[in-house]
Structure 1
Amino acid sequence: MAERKPLGKHENAILLSEVDSLCPICAKPLIYEKKGRKYKRWEGAHIYPLNPTEEEKKLLKGEKKLHEDVNHLNNIIALCRDCHKEFDNPRTVEEYRELFSIKKNILSKNETRTKYHDHHIENEIKEVITTLVEGFGEGYSQQLEMNALRLDEKADKSLTPITKRRIRNEIRDYYLYIQEQFRQLDSNYPQSFHRIALQVSLFYSTLTKTETSQEVIYTQLTEWLSKVTGNSSLGACGIIISFFIQNCEVF
């Protein structure tokens, strides 16, 4: 029988950070405050059971595992006590796959974030993002013709309809505006657009080595651009990534 290894402060901090201090199943806060002190209302749940019963072994036969060592952090996720109890009793394949997928996405995102430092981008793109956030007026009406869009030819089924529609609208509404901002940028910093486009393309290529979902790649590219430029506007960074989708550096 396998023994449950106690989680130290470091492991607890990692697990809590992975789910942003919210139960990934019910969104209940995992920390509560009472009389000026903070308390846990969560537990580290084993995704694949620590000591599976014979019935659970049959139930989960052939299912993928995130790590062969069931006590490894890859196989543990922070859940509120109620969801942990319901997940374990009774265990179902559907709930196992759901929690497996949640944790797998967390691990994938963490792996991608470790690459941010190795993939910098030209500082000049900050000017384009700032202009987009502060300077794009409602009076700007020049739009890209719909028949010029390439998204439908490039998007696959992993890109959700709502994200695809958002990207399409951002390309239509902002592509020509951003293109003009890059032209102006090149007049001040020659070849800056070429360098920026190469950097976006390189990081996209890096992501595709471990990730196949266009939905995930779009989200990770947006977050990367936000982090490496120090810009808090994920919306503006998403619009820039949509520009590079149309411009063929992405997808």
Structure 2
Amino acid sequence: MAKTARREPTPNESIVLFNEVDGLCPLCNKSLMRSKNKAKVKIFEAAHIYPLNPTNEEIELLKNEERLTLDVNDLDNFIALCRECHKVFDHPRTVEEYRLLYNIKKNIISRNMTKEKFHEYPMEYEIREVLLKLIGETNETNLTKLQLEAHKLDDKANESLTNFTKRKIRNDITDYYLFIKEEFKQLDKEHPKSFAKIASQVRSFFTQIDSIEESQEKIYEIVTEWLSKKTQNTSKTACEIITSFFVQNCEVFDVNS
């Protein structure tokens, strides 16, 4: 069988691979750049997740494993590794390490797909006013805790939502739901129907992401990041609280039948 020629990623593709792993080797967490003479020097390699020209032993080893793409030179089959980890990963190849990199890259691909949706779904600028209120004006004396939940979080959450995140969402709903609801009511007085538009935008974005991503944990993170990017808000905590509000208000996560 003729060997497949190796395709080296272009400079732009190398930047993509570097950014996908946040500049750190996903196996050892070593920085993939180093400084030399006041310049940044690349010290990573583009590793094939599924081998470029697998040996008979590797074909047998990976015969039951899923692949990200049938084209071994597709960027979806590359991942940035430091040189040492690349060598260890290739020789000898193991199922465990293959599955590890496969899952890392699969999550990266999924994340990239969802981020591509960010620009398609606008967000009313007025929501910044609510976020700024959360950051600057909330304290224990002006919060009224929610005693009864219209829809219990347990009715919406599935096993993909960690207990830690579920507890955080529940606490955010209890502490902030009524405060945020009142702020949206005030916002509607200044900008009529603002809340209806914002809620519709959140629901539309959730519906789109829900069709791509199965994990509620990741959906929660994606909606939070989308809110942060769209409102240019630097407070992740405030955006998490707003996401929790929309979980309670039924724009995010569906009540299980």
Q: For the aligned residues, what is the CA RMSD?
A: 1.4
1:80 — aligned with what? 82
TM-score (normalizing by structure 1)? 0.95
Aligned residues: 251
Q: Which runs of 5+ in 2 are unaligned?
A: none
TM-score (normalizing by structure 2)? 0.93
Where does 1:183-198 land on structure 2 (aligned, <5 Å)? 183-198=185-200
Note the C-alpha offset of 1:4. Answer: 1.2
Cα pair 2:160 2:216 within 8 Å, conserved: yes
CA distance in 1, matches of 2:247, 2:94: 40
Note the C-alpha offset of 1:139. Answer: 3.0
Picking from 157, 160, 163, the partner of 1:158 is 160
Aligned AA (1:57): I
2:42 — aligned with what? 40
1:110 — aligned with what? 112
Question: What are the superposed Cα offsets for residues 80-121 of structure 1, whole Å, 9 maximum, x if unpaired?
Answer: 122222222222212211111111111111111111111001
Q: Does the C-alpha gap of structure 1 residues 48 and 146 become closer, same or farther in structure 2, counting only changes over 3 Å?
A: farther
CA distance in 1, matches of 2:148, 2:51: 52
Q: Which runs of 5+ in 1 are unaligned?
A: none
CA distance in 2, matches of 1:149, 1:143: 16
Q: Identity of aligned pairs, percent?
A: 54
Note the C-alpha offset of 1:141. Answer: 4.2
1:70 — aligned with what? 72
2:245 — aligned with what? 243
- For the residue of structure 1 that corresponds to 2:212, the secondary structure is coil
2:178 — aligned with what? 176
2:95 — aligned with what? 93
- For the residue of structure 1 that corresponds to 2:141, the secondary structure is coil
Cα pair 2:49 2:79 within 8 Å, conserved: yes
1:15 — aligned with what? 17
Where does 1:136-147 land on structure 2 (aligned, <5 Å)? 136-145=138-147
Note the C-alpha offset of 1:38. Answer: 1.6
Cα pair 2:46 2:80 within 8 Å, conserved: yes
Q: Does the C-alpha gap of structure 1 residues 83 and 140 become closer, same or farther in structure 2, counting only changes over 3 Å?
A: farther
